[in-house]
Amino acid sequence: MQDAADNFGDNVVTNLPSPTQRSTQLAAVDPRLQALSTLVRNNESENGEKEIDLVQYWRVIVKRKWTVMGAFAIVFLTGLMATLLTTPIFRATATVQIERQSMRVVNVPGVEPVEDPYDMEFYETQFQLLQSRSMAEKVAAQLDPNDPVFAVMSAPSPWVKLKQMVLGKPDSEQSVDPAARRAQLVGLVQSGLMVEPVSRSRLARIHFDSPDGALSARVANAVATGFIESNMERRIDTSSYAKEFLEDRLEQVKLKLQDSEKALAEFAQREQIVNIGDRSSLLNSDLSALNGALTAAKQERIAAEARMSQGQGMNAMSHPLMMENQGVQALRATRAKLEAEYQEKLLVYKPAYPLMQQIKSQIDNIDKQLANEMQLVRNNLGSNLQAAREMEARLQQQVDELTSQVLSLQSRSTDFTVLEREVETNRQLYDALLQRYKEIGITSNVDANNVSVVDSALVPGGPYKPDLRRNLMLASALGLILGILLAFLFEFLDDTLKRPDEIERHLGLGVLGVIPKLDKVTPDEALLDPRSAFSEAYRSVRTSLQFSTDDGVPKCLLVTSPSASEGKSTTALTLARNFAQLGRRVLLIDADLRNPSLHRTLGTDNSVGLSNYLAGSIKPAAAIKPTKTLRLTFIPSGPLPPNPAELLAGPKMLSLLALAGEKFDQVIIDGPPVMGLADSPILANVSAGTLLVIEAGSSRIATAKAAFKRLLGARAHVVGALLTKYDAKVAGYGYGGEYGEYQYYSYGGARGQSLTT
């Protein structure tokens, strides 16, 4: 090992690939050599569909159990205190039956509406009457305003008292005015009264709530009795009003009847109308007969005009009358025969041949005879048309004369009918009102009351509310729901990475290991015990790195994190020691040229180191420091330079890593954080692999994504992620879960005799 360190700076490395060439080589690597993180990202892209995982919801509840329990306790205790401090309220109930019965003032047969016995509008009206102010005033008149119960009922609510205390307003003293007390009592009766209809029945329950059971029963019974009395009073008042109304209407209708009869008699005498109905019927019958004859004459005239028009426009060969004439038919047959003979002989003789001339002369003679017959038909059609027109004119004149007589009679009969109908209407109305007036005078229209008490209110045996059991159950349910909602709200607002599955889901990186959170011990103290869960966890990470690629652990591994203080330096040092324990020659480089810490942990001098070599002041061998761990060599950061990014981006860093790859089996670089600095992307580009360290519950998702994006932008080969400071209880997995208490890391933890070598 000392020889490797001595010869570390003597070799000259030539033909080293540039950072761009190195990135191209890493990007073109064989697919079989891809890191686990790449496979995870591919699986994530292929399996994009997400399923609802109830176990995840349960883990959130377990993680936020104190939030759930706190909200449950607050709501439960609030409900318990509110129930115990609430004044007990007693409810008394009286049951009444309300029958559907219409109010009759004027009973006109055939005009009375048909009503549904279950008319909800009627029953809703009755329920509103039960809760009306007039009913409350009727009941309040029977109560004592000085009853102490009313003082309790009128006391302000706790909310009003609190409001008065906050605003500094004193309580208003109760008015000593009797009218004001009575008005307040009416309001208390209305506020405590409630009507509940019984479904699918004519029953209604009258409830009254108050701090005194006896008062509740008394008020409920008073409301039921008062409603019956009010209903009877309304019926009596209605009958009295109806009797007075009918008396006035009878007198008015009687005068109208007399006036209408007098007007009818005067009109009949003036117009000399004796039997207007029979006269009107006779005239209407004659007019109907003449209209029928006139219609037939019009049809005959129209037909004659059509025949005349047809005779003017058609030849003798197609007219219907010509077709019906036997002589015409004989001439047409002879002409057709001669025409056929002419056409036949035309094939042999010329038209000038004597025989052909003779046949042609016979055809012309027949055409003249047919023309004469057509002229006779036309003359006959004209005579028929003239006769039809004269008959239509005579009938039209008679219809007009008879129509004038009918209209004159109808004009007089219309006025007579109006007067006669008015007399009949007034007589019927007078008879109906007189009959109803006699009925009201005999019976006063007082029927049996349609409201009756079914059950009187009894003094309740116990308070109606508050219901302690129901309130506690409701408070428990509300508290549990509120607690769960708050737990999910806090979980939604918590945007940090807490579990390995979240890293895989949000970053698409494979998690190579999970380092448990230490309690009351430092990492160095935990590493002193090789059987501790902390030590076993890092050995598990070392094993995962060996299988992260097909070639094993990347020759040059950069350890970085999105932000500072996430455990990257501890991880780099521990992994270097673990690889050295395997017998490998390991070089640990502290490349954090801004805030180095490994030299303090290892207890070495930091006056000369990596920054001196990169600045060109020393050779690589001068920067190497030995450590207490066998086969582990360390290069400290050296003095802090003013330009770390420029030094790391120079060719000396790439030369150092190439030379270290030849002399050592494993090179581990402790780099600075990714965010806000250019150092880590530069180191990731020249390293064979990069391990991203993420602190559980501290590193935000957006920050980790941005850091990972920067590494990918630098063409870094990210082999996976490491989750540090993991607490299973905080992550929501409880005890023994998927990533539980890590007792398996210290399996067989009982100390025995150590193996000495």
pLDDT in tens, 734-743: 434 444 444 4
Q: What is the pTM of this model?
A: 0.52
Q: Which CATH fold topology does 495-746 show?
A: Rossmann fold (3.40.50)
Give pLDDT, residue 548.
Answer: 80
* Helical segments of 141-212, H only: 148-153, 158-167, 178-192
Query: At 670, is the pLDDT very low, low, confident or very high (cuts 50, 70, 90)?
Result: very high
Query: At 406, is the pLDDT very low, low, confident or very high (cuts 50, 70, 90)?
Result: low
Give pLDDT, residue 351.
Answer: 83
Give pLDDT, residue 269.
Answer: 65
Which tops the pLDDT comparison, 316 or 730? 730
Q: What count of residues does the chain have? A: 757
CB 724 within 8 A of CB 692: no
Query: At 413, is the pLDDT very low, low, confident or very high (cuts 50, 70, 90)?
Result: low
Using DSSP's 3-state secondary structure scheme, residue 556 falls into strand
Q: Please state, in angstroms and rounded to a whole number, the distance separating the CA atoms of residues 133 and 182.
A: 12
Average pLDDT score, the chain: 77
CA 16 distance to own-chain centroid: 65
Single-letter residue type at 363: I
Q: Please state, in angstroms and rounded to a whole number, the distance separating the CA atoms of residues 235 and 472.
A: 50
Query: At 23, is the pLDDT very low, low, confident or very high (cuts 50, 70, 90)?
Result: very low
Instruction: Parse the chain into domains and list their residue ranges.
Output: 60-83+468-491, 276-443, 495-746
Q: Please state, in angstroms and rounded to a whole number, the distance separating the CA atoms of residues 223 and 140.
A: 10
Give pLDDT, residue 699.
Answer: 85
Phi and psi angles of residue 684, each rounded to the nearest 5 degrees, phi first: -65, -30
- What single-letter DSSP state applies at residue 39? H
Which tops the pLDDT comparison, 222 or 180? 222
Weakest-pLDDT range from 29-38, 396-405, 546-555: 29-38
Residue 168 region, left (φ>0) first, then alpha (ψ -120 to 50), else beta? left
Check pLDDT > 50 for residue 580. yes
Query: At 156, is the pLDDT very low, low, confident or very high (cuts 50, 70, 90)?
Result: low
499-509 confidence digits (pLDDT tens): 888 888 888 88
Check pLDDT > 80 for residue 595. yes
Give pLDDT, residue 482.
Answer: 93
Q: Tell me the average pLDDT across 158-174.
A: 59
Weakest-pLDDT range from 303-307, 533-537, 635-639: 303-307
CA 15 distance to own-chain centroid: 68
Beta 689-695 vs 718-726: how paired, if at all? parallel
What tokens does 498 get? 């807490």
Give pLDDT, residue 561.
Answer: 93
Give me the half-sphere count of Cα atoms (radius 13 Å) on the Cβ side of residue 692: 35
What tokens does 348 get? 């042999």
Q: Please state, in angstroms and rounded to a whole number, the distance separating the CA atoms of residues 202 and 97.
A: 6
Which tops the pLDDT comparison, 746 or 453? 453
Q: Please state, in angstroms and rounded to a whole number, the distance separating the CA atoms of residues 713 and 726.
A: 29
What tokens does 116 get? 């549904």
Give pLDDT, residue 479.
Answer: 92
428-458 confidence digits (pLDDT tens): 887 887 777 676 666 554 455 778 888 888 8
Q: What is the 3-state secondary structure (H, E, C) of 44-110?
A: HHHCCCCCCCHHHHHHHHHHCHHHHHHHHHHHHHHHHHHHHHCCCEEEEEEEEEECCCCCCCCCCCC
Give pLDDT, residue 165.
Answer: 67
From residue 119, give the alpha-carbon distance in Å to each of 106, 111, 576, 698: 22, 19, 91, 69
Residue 250 region, left (φ>0) first, then alpha (ψ -120 to 50), else beta? alpha
Max avg pLDDT among 140-144, 334-338, 467-471, 679-683: 679-683
Check pLDDT > 50 for residue 750. no
686-698 confidence digits (pLDDT tens): 999 999 999 988 8
Which tops the pLDDT comparison, 230 or 32? 230
Q: Please state, in angstroms and rounded to a whole number, the distance separating the CA atoms of residues 240 and 444.
A: 8
273-312 confidence digits (pLDDT tens): 555 555 555 656 776 777 787 788 788 778 777 767 766 6
Residue found by looking up tokens 């990069």 in the block? 690
Check pLDDT > 80 for residue 46. no
CB 434 within 8 A of CB 332: no
Weakest-pLDDT range from 31-35, 240-244, 701-705: 31-35
371-394 confidence digits (pLDDT tens): 777 777 677 777 777 787 778 777
CB 36 within 8 A of CB 510: yes
Give pLDDT, residue 453.
Answer: 87
pLDDT above 90: percentage of residues in the chain: 22
Check pLDDT > 90 for residue 610. yes
Of 705, 540, 662, the closest CA to residue 8 belongs to 662
468-527 confidence digits (pLDDT tens): 888 899 999 999 999 999 988 988 887 888 888 888 888 888 899 999 888 778 887 878
What tokens does 48 get? 């994009």
Q: Please state, in angstroms and rounded to a whole number, the distance separating the CA atoms of residues 344 and 353.
A: 14
Give pLDDT, residue 40.
Answer: 47
170-186 confidence digits (pLDDT tens): 554 444 577 777 888 88
CB 594 within 8 A of CB 640: yes
Q: Please state, in angstroms and rounded to a whole number, the distance separating the CA atoms of residues 533 and 526.
A: 8
Give pLDDT, residue 157.
Answer: 58
Query: At 268, is the pLDDT very low, low, confident or very high (cuts 50, 70, 90)?
Result: low
Give me the half-sphere count of Cα atoms (radius 13 Å) on the Cβ side of residue 204: 26
Check pLDDT > 80 for residue 647. yes
Give pLDDT, residue 517.
Answer: 85
Give pLDDT, residue 39.
Answer: 46
* Helical segments of 468-567, H only: 468-493, 500-507, 523-528, 533-546
Q: What is the 3-state secondary structure (H, E, C) of 565-582?
A: CCCHHHHHHHHHHHHHHC
pLDDT above 70: percentage of residues in the chain: 73
Q: Please state, in angstroms and rounded to a whole number, the distance separating the CA atoms of residues 513 and 36.
A: 12
